């Protein structure tokens, strides 16, 4: 299922009037499910496979298709709708398989709505699951944790199943996991604890498959930290440069230390990198990265790092989190001040979100600070579902709303973009943005 519903009426109103606000989450919500396309790629052609998007269950009267078996993947924010959809398909006689990050975090809950669930990465168990399905002998749980999966063996996703006209970007994955371990991170480290990369040739063949259905596509790398393996990242960027595409990815701030990589990126069609800065100073990110306190050690050099990346003609989408422990009502002003001084082309401001399966969720649950422990529909990144340690919930909500009204004010957005474009004129090469 795709789509994320902004629940808060005040936010909805802001989102409708401020350019840039909720833009990124809308983009994510409108991406096709690469996991399902990948499993379709592993499914023998004897199966007749269809890919269906259900952006809003409330908007459909009838089930979107009559199937013998249905595999469903969804964000936490939409998982209750996904369960309803699963229940309806089961009532109609289909076998339902659920998987993904939320199901891996909450297997007991998911099992109540499925004939089978997949825990962890699905590729190692998918072939067995399909043969059990054919024999009418599905197991309730297919647990791939502890089974090593090499991305060199990744199947070609079935991009051909997509109605490509409805997407403004398609996804290709080049790595899974991350060498870091941020307390709040609900990304692929929860499926793949070890950082691993896909061979560059395999990535290029996926890009070329997409180009067969979309001549000059915009590709979003479905990665959490693309350049964590710098040698692989350089090879990848060089290979993408030859493909005449525009692309976007997520990475960490250390790419600023690598002028060779930045030079390759500039010429490779990289339109933007998204970087989780989390907070503009060291105090705010202290302890967030739990292996080596890496983010805290970098935070005081954010300004120069952003300048160095953007001076190569690559725009940065800087992400900030409000409500982090130790940050109080001064945080709203600190974030706004940093955004203004940084020259960031794009900004994403969200509230700390305790996704299931994360150490943050466990800690807040343990200490009685979750407002509604299983209100997954509040996992939108914009809804507060925990008690902040230094301010009230109401103050965090109010400060967040006021801050986004300022950050996404039309004149500020225009000024940020104009400043970057002015800067670009001093950089030889393609226009950015
Ligand atoms: S650096 Fe990013 S991807 Fe890696 S653990 Fe932290 S939040 Fe997750």
Q: What is the mean pLDDT of each run of 10 residues along the chain (433 residues)?
A: 59 60 63 95 96 86 93 94 96 97 98 98 97 97 94 97 91 96 94 94 98 94 96 97 96 96 94 96 96 96 97 95 97 98 95 97 98 96 96 97 95 94 72 39
C-alpha to C-alpha distance for 186 and 190, rounded to whole angstroms: 6
Can you give the pLDDT at residue 432?
39
Ligand 1 atom with the smallest distance to the CA of 294 is 1
- Greatest Cα pair distance in the chain: 65
| Sequence-ordered list of residues with C-beta below 8 angstroms from that of 329, at least 6 positions apart, any chain | 390, 391, 395, 399
What's the pTM value of the predicted model, to 2 decimals?
0.93
pLDDT at 19: 54
pLDDT for position 83? 97
In this structure, which residue's CA is closest to atom 3 in ligand 1? Answer: 224
Cα of 182 vs centre of ligand 1, distance in Å, is 5
Atom of ligand 1 nearest to the CA of 278: 7
Distance of CA 288 from the midpoint of ligand 1 (Å):
10
Contact 174, 197 (CB under 8 A): yes
Residue 407 CA, ligand 1 centroid: distance in Å: 24
What pLDDT does residue 431 have?
A: 41
List alpha helices for 267-317, DSSP H.
282-285, 294-299, 302-310
**DSSP per-residue string spanning 358-406:** SHHHHHHHHTT-BSSTT-GGGTTSSS--B--SSS-HHHHHHHHHHHHHH
State the pLDDT at residue 67.
97
Q: Could you tell me the distance, in angstroms and rounded to a whole number, from the CA of residue 158 to the centre of ligand 1?
A: 28
pLDDT of residue 122: 97
Please give the C-alpha separations between residue 24 and each of 210, 250, 329, 346, in angstroms, as whole numbers: 22, 12, 25, 10
For a ligand 1 pocket test, name from 176, 177, 180 the mutation site with the most ligand atoms within 8 angstroms of its C-beta. 180
Neighbours of 372 (CB within 10 A): 11
Atom in ligand 1 nearest the alpha carbon of residue 179: 4
- Residue closest by Cα to atom 7 of ligand 1: 185
Q: How far is the CA of 289 from the centre of ligand 1 (A)?
A: 8
- 366 contacts: CB under 8 Å, gap ≥ 6: none
User: Any residues with Cβ below 6 Å from ligand 1, and which?
Assistant: 178, 180-182, 185, 187, 189, 224-225, 252, 276
Beta carbons within 10 angstroms of residue 278's beta carbon: 22
Residue nearest (by alpha carbon) to ligand 1 atom 8: 185
| Ligand 1 atom with minimal separation from the 288 CA | 6
User: What is the pLDDT, as a whole number, of residue 9?
Assistant: 66
CA-wise closest residue to 59 among 118, 121, 3, 142: 3
Report how far ligand 1's centroid is from the alpha carbon of 187 (Å): 7
Residue to mutate, 174, 182, 253, 348, ligand 1, most ligand atoms under 8 Å from C-beta: 182
pLDDT computed for residue 60 by the predictor? 84
Residue 428: which residues within 8 A CB-CB, separation 6 or more? none
Which of 195, 223, 225 to probe ligand 1 with, by most ligand atoms within 8 A of CB? 225
CA of 185 to the centre of ligand 1 (A): 6
Q: How far is the CA of 88 from the centre of ligand 1 (A)?
A: 36
Bin 429: left if φ > 0, else alpha if -120 < ψ < 50, else beta.
left
Copy the structure tokens of residue 356. Answer: 């299931």
CA of 202 to the centre of ligand 1 (A): 24
pLDDT at position 137, please? 97
Alpha-carbon span 213 to 222, nearest angstrom: 19
Ligand 1: centre distance to CA 100 (Å): 18
Residue 159 to residues 38, 39, 58, 124, Cα–Cα distance (Å): 9, 11, 27, 21
DSSP SS3 for 146: coil
Predicted local confidence at residue 193, as pLDDT: 84
Looking at residue 23, its pLDDT comes to 64
**Closest by CA position to 259, among listed 280, 283, 230, 285:** 230
Provide the 3-class DSSP secondary structure of residue 341: helix
To test ligand 1's pocket by mutation, which of 101, 228, 289 has the most ligand atoms within 8 angstroms of CB? 289
Q: How far is the CA of 69 from the centre of ligand 1 (A)?
A: 34
Position 17 scores a pLDDT of 54
Contacts 24+ apart (CB under 8 A), 230-234: 230/258, 230/261, 232/174, 232/175, 232/197, 232/200, 233/261, 234/258, 234/260, 234/261, 234/264
Ligand 1 atom nearest to 225, measured from its CA: 3
């Amino acid at each position: 299922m795709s789509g994320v519903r902004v629940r808060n009426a005040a936010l909805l109103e802001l989102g409708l009037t401020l350019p840039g606000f909720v833009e990124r989450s809308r983009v994510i919500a409108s991406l096709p499910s690469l996991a399902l396309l990948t499993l379709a790629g592993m499914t023998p052609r004897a199966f007749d496979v269809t890919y269906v998007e259900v952006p809003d269950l409330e908007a459909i009267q009838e089930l979107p298709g009559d199937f013998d078996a249905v595999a469903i993947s969804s964000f936490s924010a939409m998982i209750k709708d996904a369960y309803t959809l699963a229940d309806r398909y089961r009532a109609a006689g289909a076998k339902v398989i659920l998987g993904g990050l939320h199901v891996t975090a909450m297997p007991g809950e998911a099992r109540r709505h499925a004939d089978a669930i997949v825990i962890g990465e699905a590729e190692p168990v998918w072939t067995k699951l399909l043969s059990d399905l054919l024999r009418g002998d599905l197991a309730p749980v297919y647990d791939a944790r502890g089974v090593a999966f090499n991305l060199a063996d990744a199947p070609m996703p079935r991009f051909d199943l997509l109605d490509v006209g409805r997407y403004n970007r398609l996804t290709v994955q080049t790595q899974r996991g991350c060498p870091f371990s941020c307390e709040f991170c609900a990304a692929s480290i929860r499926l793949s604890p070890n950082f691993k990369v896909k061979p560059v040739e395999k990535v290029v063949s996926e890009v070329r498959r997409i180009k067969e259905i979309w001549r000059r596509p915009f590709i979003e790398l479905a990665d959490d930290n693309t350049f964590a393996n710098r040698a692989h990242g350089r090879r990848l960027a060089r290979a993408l440069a030859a493909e005449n595409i525009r692309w976007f990815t997520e990475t960490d701030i250390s790419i600023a230390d690598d002028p060779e990589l930045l030079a390759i990126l500039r010429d490779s069609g990289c339109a933007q990198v998204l970087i989780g800065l989390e907070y503009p100073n060291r105090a705010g990110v202290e302890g967030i990265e739990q292996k080596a306190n890496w983010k805290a050690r970098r935070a005081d050099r954010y300004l120069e790092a952003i300048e160095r990346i953007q001076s190569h003609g690559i725009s940065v989408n800087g992400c900030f989190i409000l409500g982090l422990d130790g940050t109080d009502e001064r945080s709203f002003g600190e974030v706004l001040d940093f955004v203004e001084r940084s020259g960031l082309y794009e900004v994403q401001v969200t509230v700390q979100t305790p996704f299931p399966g994360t150490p943050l969720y466990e800690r807040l649950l343990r200490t009685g600070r979750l407002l509604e422990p299983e209100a997954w529909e509040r996992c939108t990144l914009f809804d507060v579902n925990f008690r902040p340690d230094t301010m009230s919930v109401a103050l965090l909500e109010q400060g967040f709303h006021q801050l986004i009204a300022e950050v996404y004010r039309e004149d500020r957005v225009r000024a940020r973009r104009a400043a970057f474009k002015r800067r670009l004129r001093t950089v030889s090469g393609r226009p950015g943005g």
